[in-house]
Structure 1
């Protein structure tokens, strides 16, 4: 399934509760949806999707990190033909919590989940500070705790090359990784470049 950009505000104003294609399609098809924004050079998966920043910390759980990372690992093997995916996971807090001084989600939730995943044979590392994760070496995917943690960097360096693929569904779903761009309508400046990569 290929989807285009939608205006969530207009859909919600019409009386339909809608936070995004990812969540909508997962309700219809079932599965454990994971948003992956990627190009030929980089892949970033999101532990949470379109939620308020103030809600992120309570949506991060040991169980979800394990289940979603296993889905990511399996999907990279099957759909992207990567034999043993190398996975980097971010912390939630600045400096990945600074040993508990800037938050304890890393020590209480994220690190124990990573340790469990390692014991199960998954090639996973972290939690890494989000601001330096691109300097930690080569990986096949970065798992980000929330939407605007890693994506701003990725969109800054590869905006016109990114595709959104939803992992964890019984169907394959891709989309452009940008909004409706009403400001470009009628200007002849809009580009179909990203759509051609899906």
Structure 2
């Protein structure tokens, strides 16, 4: 595998009234980024020219009508429509929502066709993307339908990874949606992703409790004892090193998370509040469980600062690097898995490292 190859990086523009255009252009303002990838942005020349001029960003790009016309080592803009949306920074408009969905659909089609290798999505507004043709609470559910597989929302940095049992559902629906089957599926997804996508040989996974204090032996709810604990014991018996359930209120503040390769939270805010508190600006939203790689920054459209030139592009930049690294890790893992000689060599090297360690 050539680790210096430029990966074709598909990018959906997100909400043009948010900070997506700014963080994309700021990321690729550094020409060294083109040593790692060939960006393919699904938007339009006029849209990006407006953003470039507004933020006074010195950057050149190549406008094309089809992905087949993309020039390697250049920033490419694939024109997705003859119509250009009106850009009104900080405003939630129907026009911007439709354009965000069009960009996403075009990028996903290119990903499915193998015209781009990975996908990085800029933030959308979950309200203005809704229509008769598009009824999804966000990227994750749409990608699960289009790309197949069972998607797992996995928030990641180098030293902290948090997955979710349930993601974009109301809090009063959490308990009834957490079943033994769901827990088993999500733990296995986290385990497999750590092995294949992040090259962790023997992952250690922590599962957070559903109720306060993990139910206090049934005093504050039965779900932890009746749903989580039996599945933890079952999976541990199969060789998956999952532990818990841990009381969520003290798990992160005590630093206990550092003992594990990943944490699986019961619901959205239980996992994302500590994740963003500890890593905001460096975090990446990765959709695990699919055969294609998709990442995004860990923030939203940020209407409050849109158009002001104040957006921090580091999370989008991290999303780009993470997508590239996962793509390479997967290829290496799959090559080794398909070759018995390489598989045995990798095993022997791992044993040797453990002996010396």
Tell me the TM-score normalized by structure 2.
0.54
- The 5-angstrom pairing of residues 126-137 of structure 1 reads 126-134=244-252, 135=254, 136=256
User: SS of the residue aligned with 1:112?
Assistant: helix
Higher relative contact order, chain-length normalized (CA < 8 Å, sep 6+): 1
Structure 2 distance, partners of 1:72, 1:144, is 11
The residue that corresponds to 2:23 in the other structure is none
The residue that corresponds to 1:113 in the other structure is 231
Structure 1 distance, partners of 2:309, 2:216, is 48
1:106-135 per-residue CA deviation (whole Å, 9 max, x = no partner) reads 011001110111000011100001112223
- 2:172 pairs with 1:54: yes
Gapped regions of structure 1 (runs ≥ 5): none
Which structure has the larger Rg? 2
Structure 1 distance, partners of 2:216, 2:176, is 19
The residue that corresponds to 2:270 in the other structure is 149
Structure 2 distance, partners of 1:164, 1:74, is 17
Gapped regions of structure 2 (runs ≥ 5): 1-118, 320-357
User: SS of the residue aligned with 2:244?
Assistant: strand
Shift of residue 150 of structure 1? 2.3
1:1-40 per-residue CA deviation (whole Å, 9 max, x = no partner) reads 111110011112x443220100110011111111011111
The residue that corresponds to 1:167 in the other structure is 288
Cα pair 2:163 2:262 within 8 Å, conserved:
yes
Structure 1 distance, partners of 2:174, 2:271, is 14
Shift of residue 177 of structure 1? 1.1
Structure 2 distance, partners of 1:11, 1:188, is 24
1:34-90 per-residue CA deviation (whole Å, 9 max, x = no partner) reads 101111120000011111111110110101111221121111011100000000000
Structure 1 distance, partners of 2:162, 2:307, is 32
The residue that corresponds to 1:101 in the other structure is 219
User: SS of the residue aligned with 2:308?
Assistant: coil
Which of 51, 54, 65 is the equivalent residue of 2:183?
A: 65
Structure 2 distance, partners of 1:122, 1:63, is 15
Let me know the Cα RMSD of the aligned residues.
Answer: 1.1
Moved more, 127-136 or 166-175: 127-136
Structure 1 distance, partners of 2:307, 2:291, is 37
Displaced runs of 4 or more, over 3 A: none
The residue that corresponds to 1:28 in the other structure is 146
Cα pair 2:229 2:245 within 8 Å, conserved:
yes
Which of 303, 316, 319 is the equivalent residue of 1:195?
A: 316
Q: How many residues align?
A: 197
Structure 2 distance, partners of 1:188, 1:78, is 38
User: SS of the residue aligned with 1:81?
Assistant: coil
